[in-house]
Amino acid sequence: IGYRFAQRFPERLSHLVLAGVMDSIPDHVRPPMERAMALAAAGRMEEFADLTLQSLLCQDPTRTIARRTSVERAMRHSLVRMSGSDLRRFIWNSQRLLDHPKLDLSRPPTVPTLVFTGEHDPFTPPERCRHVAEHIPGARFTTIDQADHVFHLQRFDQTVALLMQFVQGRLSERSEAA
């Protein structure tokens, strides 16, 4: 949504941040998303939580993920206890992502853009985010260390610092120019 808004109304933005973005949902991601929606709709909350966490969180125990155990526990708790309205919102949002057309990378936004994700994100992996950044002139790409798709929970302070540095024009050399 942010990408398309920036394409259509660049004059209304000073900066664009795309976190965990890809140009389209990969084919291998579709079946787990559809299965998660079906489990949620059927009220099979434990299985729904397991599948959702497997899809969003890095499962490789050799990768260092900040706050891995506490974030997974908190997310599981939230997923298993989702209200009916939250479940409907999850299903609607998941279906919206599945139905969304591929991003039009031929007409990139013309505002200063930051693209990032967690360095170990299995859902929107860095290479897919970098691909989008490479099509936006002057975009910066980076990753949040020791994080996966839920970088904002695992590395909140670092995520906020990155956003502030970008908006204030103080982004470190750690980030790559795409």
- Is residue 66 over pLDDT 80? yes
Res 176 pLDDT > 70: no
The distance of Cα 64 from the centroid of its chain, to the nearest Å, equals 19
- Mean pLDDT for the chain? 94
pTM of the model: 0.91
Per-residue pLDDT tens for 108-161? 999 999 999 999 999 999 999 999 999 999 999 999 999 999 999 999 999 999
Between helices 30-41 and 45-56, what is the axis angle to 10°?
Answer: 160
Q: What is the rounded average pLDDT of the residues 54-79?
A: 97
Percent of the chain with pLDDT over 70: 96
Residues 132-158 as b/e (b if ≥16 CB within 10 A, e otherwise) read bbbbbeebbbbbbbbbbbbbbbbbeeb
